Amino acid sequence: MKALKEPMTFVQGWRFLTIGALLYLWIAHEAKTGSYLLILLLLVLASLRWRFGRLPVWTAFADAAVCLAFVPFSDIGVYGLALPIFEFALKGKWAVSLLFFAGLLVPSLPSSLLFWLYVQAFLFGAFACTALGHQRDYKREADEQRKARQELERIRLELLEANRAVSRQAELMERHRISRQLHDHLGHDLTGASLALQAYEYVSDPAEARELLREVGNRLERSTTRLREAVHNMTPVTPIGADSLAYIARNFRHAGIADIRFRQSGDMQRVAPHMWELLEACLKEALTNIVRHSNASEAEVELQASETIVRLRIGDNGTVHPGDLSGSGIRGLQMRARALGGSLSRGWDNGFTLVCVLPLEQGGGIDETADSRR
């Protein structure tokens, strides 16, 4: 059935049908053995076109030459001129095609039959030329779109890789900043306090010993204050990671769903920062779909991190099957999940369920360089 949608099938069919018609004319009216060669020669040319696809336009002159060579001996030659008319019209050489209408000048043949044979050959060729031209354009356009999509996919993968590298770099820089801050603000005071305590054992003057202890106390108090300040300054204001997911789930409660339960288990430190972006996007998409398409009153969000994977499941208690929800949102998320080596699936068996599973790298979000330094 697929072949029937191809314009080329009709073109090939027309050629063989015309040769069949010539054969019928030959059997019914002529039956001269010699002119059967004409039909066979035309059949050879039609077979070549069928076998090798599009032959160059000049090959239509071969059809014309064969037919014209037989015109003095056989009427089939005149009828056969319908084939070059069709071939030239098919190639868009309509002026050349019309030249062969001169076959109508042969007086011995019924001119009306010949005229309509030529006209249908010309029109069919012209229509086929247009249809094949459109098909070529569509194919070219589809090829260009496919190429553009592949290019986009490549760029997207590069961006994902860059994102991963940037997050790793940011993590390293943050560690470096924290270590420098601890060194600058706490290191001196704690070292001073430690030295003072060691010196305390050798001091014999009680007044001097009290002074030393007071100094140690001051230094420890200052260190504690600076440590508290450093930790306070380093703690992010906006929620990140699992907290961010919990925050999103909380904020969706007042958007129509009465209750959203959020549960998490496992070591969330193993999840790389760039994965949180995708998990957040999945959660938002799922909750938006629930609000827009489902009649659910409750929803549940489960986040589990194991040794090898992180799994996010969002489910509701809705009873309405919203049909196909494979819009660009879900599709885009599926592609992103695949790019990270994971998967995203959805179902409507017991309410709407969306599950995103991502593989965790060995070492997870913790940088390996930390271990190698030890």
Partner 1 sequence: MTIFHFALKRSFGNRANLLFLTLFPIACIFLPSGEGWPFLPYGYQYFGIFILFASIRLAAIMLEDRAKGVVKRLAVAPVSHLRYISQNLLAYLCIMVVQCAVVVIGGLLYGQQLYQPAWLMLLYISFSAASLAVALAWISLYRNKEISFLVFMPIVFLVAILGGIMMPVDIFPEGLRRLAVVFPTYWLAKGLDWIAFGESIGPFLLVNGVLWLYAVVFVIMGSARKIE
Binding site for partner 1 (CB under 8 A): 23, 27-28, 31, 33-34, 36-37, 40-41, 43-44, 47-48, 50-51
Task: Give dist(CA 263, CA 242) in Å, integer.
Answer: 10
CB burial of residue 185 (10 Å; 0-12, 13-18, 19+): middle
- Amino acid letter, 314: I
Toward partner 1, which CB reaches closer, 20 or 359? 20
- As measured in angstroms, the least distance from the Cβ of 93 to partner 1 is 25
Taking the C-alpha atoms of residue 21 and residue 124, their distance in angstroms, rounded to an integer, is 16
- At 22, the amino acid letter reads L
Q: Toward partner 1, which CB reaches closer, 1 or 28?
A: 28
Q: How far is the CB of 114 from partner 1 (least distance, A)?
A: 22
Residue 30 vs 298, nearer CB to partner 1: 30
Nearest to residue 305, comparing CAs of 356, 342, 264?
264
* Cβ distance to partner 1 smaller for residue 33 or 233: 33
Query: Assign residue 69 a region: left if phi > 0, alpha if psi is -120 to 50, beta otherwise?
Result: alpha
Min dist. Cβ of residue 7 to partner 1 (A): 20
Spatial distance between the Cα atoms of 288 and 329, rounded to a whole number of angstroms: 11
Q: Which residue type, as a one-letter code, is found at position 186?
A: L
Asked if 341 and 358 count as a contact pair (C-beta separation under 8 A), the reply is yes
Please tell me the distance from the alpha carbon of residue 251 to that of residue 39, in angstroms, as a whole number: 81
- CB of residue 60 vs partner 1: minimum separation in angstroms? 18
Residue 63 CB, nearest distance to partner 1 (Å)?
Answer: 15
Q: How far is the CB of 36 from partner 1 (least distance, A)?
A: 6
- Shortest distance, position 27 Cβ to partner 1, whole Å: 4
At 183, phi and psi to the nearest 5?
Answer: -65, -45
Residue closer to partner 1, measured from CB, 24 or 138: 24
Neighbouring CB atoms inside 10 A of 373's CB total 7
Looking up tokens 């030239």, which residue turns up? 88
Which lies closer to partner 1 via its Cβ, residue 52 or residue 202? Answer: 52
Given the complex with partner 1, which of 40 and 234 has the nearer CB atom? 40
Give the nearer residue to partner 1 in terms of CB position, either 50 or 101.
50
Question: What is 314-351 written as a DSSP string?
Answer: EEE-----------HHHHHHHHHHHHTT-EEEEE-BTB
CB atoms within 10 A of CB 348: 15
Shortest spacing between CB 41 and partner 1, in angstroms: 7
Residue 300: both structure tokens together: 């549940």
At 261, is the secondary structure helix, strand, or coil? strand
